Structure 1
């Protein structure tokens, strides 16, 4: 019996020793992935020494002797602290989450591949000005300097999360930063869901007064007769298409429900309204809960002076903050910048859709989604002249798309010449409210309310491109919240009569514009 007890004790002791060794080894590996803030690193890509000083709240103050060196330092600091966040956001906009998370994210990847935001971001690099291109390159060099340091010094996997979700990390590129801004546009947009919801309600309710009770119209009187949505498709088959769980329900999804697609608060006070006799500015740019928080505080030294405020890892710009002369704040504007088109598919040739000039072939491309622990999925992406064709599961589009039709999306964020990043980087160098307003004209998406103060002036401006809708249409292009524009029933093609031509807002201050629900009109809209 004593011999058995001895062996049991030995086995228990060995198990405890192995557990302790495993715990120590895990701690060692994970700790190697954590950044060392007290070191000197020799890197290539900077013109002079860059100092990153962290205060007692761990906010990095990046002191470079040139603007490029400061952006390099910001890229390095972002990669030190938020590498996992940056890589996950990049994979999201690329439609490559399933390579890490498996089958649960296939629907998300599928929709993002159809939007093709990353290709549009790469095309947008050429649209940036010289200063912005220099900043994007320097920032990417800073991120890649951290990746090189991790590989050269065997610093774990760069982030503790990488031990759980191990995946190769590609070098950072300027297009990645532009793509993350387009991802923010996805996260802050809810108009598509609004329009689908209104159309579904119109189909379900026979009494238009009841519909107005549930989804009230914008204040004021309508300027057009309001037909039933179903009347626009005479003889259409409205049989419901069975759908699985939508991609909006996954925590990794950037497609938010209406209640969570952006918010924020800001206020400014003129000198006459403040006890100190100066201007005041406050901003609460709250977004959804996440760990870590989407925002990252940082200070940069630029040739025009120091700037400090909130950045988003992966984007080399202080999006809300201040310099010695200017303060700026952003809130969601809820500008309606998305238009849905219901496109008729040729019943004799599913590769064609109806246009004003007859049938036309979809523009198509093949895309392969690699899935962890599963076989890959091959998609056929389709575009019409109006935009990408979306899956029926996206915000329940199948519920409002009659048989023999597909839904396509026109959206300002789908611009291949997106200069939003040039606007954001230029804003950090602005010295007056007027300079900031001039730079904001480069801003495309996501649309924001920009609140500005300098030493003497306050201003509020709606920034971002808005679709130029047809002023000759019965609706007169008004931004009514829930009006259905009148039009005779069509043979099978209905389109939202809001032309997706980019139109920059005039140089005046705006308050938030009410949301448009759904506009239906005869095609074409010219």
Structure 2
């Protein structure tokens, strides 16, 4: 070991054990010795670290508006960046982020807890973040569990019940609770034996797995110690009283201890939310079917393929250096396609209500979690990473983080872990924070965006009856290798009684999802007149716990010293994520996920006959052959990387509709690319500015409005009212198509009326452009595959178009412009204008393909939009009055418990975010 490295190792050991060579060193000071960021790492996670509120805290919040300390103290810094980013400098970054250095200076220690002899938890004054220092590895993990329970016990308890489909039984029968448990149970139902099997799989995965299980057990000890102490001391979360689990006066009641299977259940929720990809083959088939019916098979298939945009040549790429990573492409002559008979597809029944049940009762009671937590599409995360070749001090810079939604408290929690084999600070999902999942190590940092590549297929499974009689669509047996075998019913019985927090009448119901050897039954249909079950087979199903080894490696400095080591660690994660890495010299990227190897002649975009299984599929272990790590998109030291859930690389086929010429990631790519080619060295502040400038920009305004105006201005606009609307939009475009306040705190947008017009116009123009040619059936099928719009407010559904009104964006969620018809509008208008359009549409849709006809359609829809008052464009909701534009867009931390927080101005950025530049290394 070189002398410098030896000295660092000695200091690191001193930091972990609390002793230097000589006098004792305070833990909070010594832990900083292994920090090579030298003050240039920052992060933030609104609203605040503290997610624990006693009953008295909750009542005070509801009656007086007070909040426990550190409940919302990161919210203002996060929110005000939107109006102040233009003037940010390296020196002022920590006005909008927290300094993410290791350790806590002695004068910044708020409190110190020593829950057992081998661990100390230090909370800082700034934000109350737990900094956990263990003299043993078990002590470190015990402290992680103890801190998790201190900060997120109620949320963790809620999620272990969601993961079992039992939220209403635990937290009351509000409609939102029932909807959430139903959607989760359809996506990831598990028996208790399934959960135990995953725990056993961890234990059986070699020395790293044995260490992981030991870490989990120590972590559970920490959680359960806090549960016992808080129950006896009566400082447990007040939600347990409000939902009837503990009596407020006598303290009689139960807070059940956590077990290893609870953590697997929580991991299942996280995986269903953020780590899966693909599916949707039935919806794709319905689009193809409608296109063939409208245009005939030859032209209809071309139309379907052009809207599918499977490998669009204009799509923005994370790996943009020409490397190709072929995966999941459609063959030219596929076999085994199992198209449904027209009109035969019906969703699988999952909810069974007893006669006279109260489950259908309407109630104003709020659920403990948002009903659409799983069903709403998630915009997710972004990353901006620049090579040191282009930076101010020659060291790489990253601004990156996950977009996990805005909740109070957050799904994520901040922590620092320092112990033998563990040295990291960052965030983890509450209940799985025995390792830091996204954050920084001693001289490196890592983050992720959701990749969503296709790891889920739909199989058409023939139905049968054991007596040989003719089956119907509702049959509960299916053919497997020539035998008629029973589907496995995965059942949950839920019953509830009224609680203080929920006025729903007492009720009960049963959830049933049927499992086959080809996955979970999602739809029923007929194919060629014969009944089938359409099943969903996801490669990570039954394997949510398998990613633990990769996260363990992320936390170990010895496994993360180089970009190549980082890629090896990331390859151990079977969730579909784009991983990014930066140290003092290198940047790197790796796309993780268990990518199944399919037969080369099947089409993964459509339902497949169940005889065409994945290579070496084993239904008993839910395993198959997967593509090797080298075939996953990966790169080291490209000039820069950006990601906003976009296409990863050439020929890495999109898993769904909508990865074409206009994508939200264009907002990042154009800005970072311009910085890199400018010739001016890039600072941390420059990259924050690029991120935030994209965060407050309307994608439709920046990337599609210029083409819309080109069509409209092909002739003079003579109608005065229409001309005024066009002028407003042109002025807004000249101002950068931003959605920002006139001044900090004004709660009024600059260019407010132009924004109102665009919000009202988009769904109208998309319908006016496409529906006349597509026809009602195909237009509706396409909207079912990809929604028209995802505006910040989520309030503009446009004219009724069947599913169009059901799948618009959710209000107050921040993340916007991921899913929509931006690319379709852009490509069609350019085609109508006679421009060259690589990967262009199969037909010219707008105005029958003529510029004049298209112009007339756009102007008519623009006039219709301009006539809509703000009260129509921004309807009232539970938080905002009708017509309040700023409020309609605003981000609300959706309550996950008894505490509510203020709203902040809209911006399109990660929930948790890091700004990092390492000037030194081990």
What TM-score range do you get, normalising by the shorter chain?
0.7 to 0.9
Equivalent of 1:124, from 195, 198, 214? 198
Q: TM-score if structure 2 supplies the norm length?
A: 0.45
Cα distance between partner residues in 2 of 1:38 and 1:125: 37
* 1:35-46 alignment, distance < 5 Å: 46=116
Q: Is the 8 A contact 1:90 1:180 kept in 2?
A: yes
Cα distance between partner residues in 2 of 1:370 and 1:400: 38
Equivalent of 2:494, from 369, 372, 389? 369
2:332 matches 1:332: no
Deviations 1:40-83 (A, max 9, x none): 7775xx45242333241221111221222122112111211212
Q: CA RMSD for the aligned pairs?
A: 4.0
Shift of 1:353: 0.5
Structure 1, unaligned runs of 5 or more = 1-21, 488-492, 519-526
Residues matched between the structures, number: 466
* 1:87-486 alignment, distance < 5 Å: 87-99=157-169, 100-102=171-173, 104=175, 105-110=177-182, 112-113=184-185, 115-117=188-190, 119=192, 120-128=194-202, 129-155=209-235, 158-167=236-245, 168-188=254-274, 191=277, 194-205=280-291, 206=293, 207=295, 208=300, 209-212=302-305, 214-219=307-312, 223-225=331-333, 232=339, 236=341, 238-239=343-344, 241=346, 251-257=370-376, 260-304=377-421, 306-315=423-432, 316-346=434-464, 348=469, 350-364=475-489, 366-372=491-497, 373-390=505-522, 392=523, 404-416=531-543, 418-429=545-556, 430-432=559-561, 433-445=563-575, 447-471=576-600, 473=601, 482=605, 484=606
Deviations 1:68-106 (A, max 9, x none): 212211211121121221111111111111112316244
Cα distance between partner residues in 2 of 1:214 and 1:254: 28
Equivalent of 1:69, from 128, 139, 148? 139
Cα distance between partner residues in 2 of 1:424 and 1:184: 14
Shift of 1:399: 11
Q: Is the 8 A contact 1:464 1:505 kept in 2?
A: no
Cα distance between partner residues in 2 of 1:130 and 1:241: 45
Q: Is the 8 A contact 1:237 1:403 kept in 2?
A: no
Q: Is the 8 A contact 1:298 1:308 kept in 2?
A: yes
Cα distance between partner residues in 1 of 2:633 and 2:309: 27
Shift of 1:470: 1.5
Cα distance between partner residues in 1 of 2:531 and 2:493: 26
Equivalent of 2:626, from 491, 500, 503? 503
Q: Is the 8 A contact 1:189 1:261 kept in 2?
A: no
Q: Is the 8 A contact 2:413 2:430 kept in 1?
A: yes
Shift of 1:329: 1.0
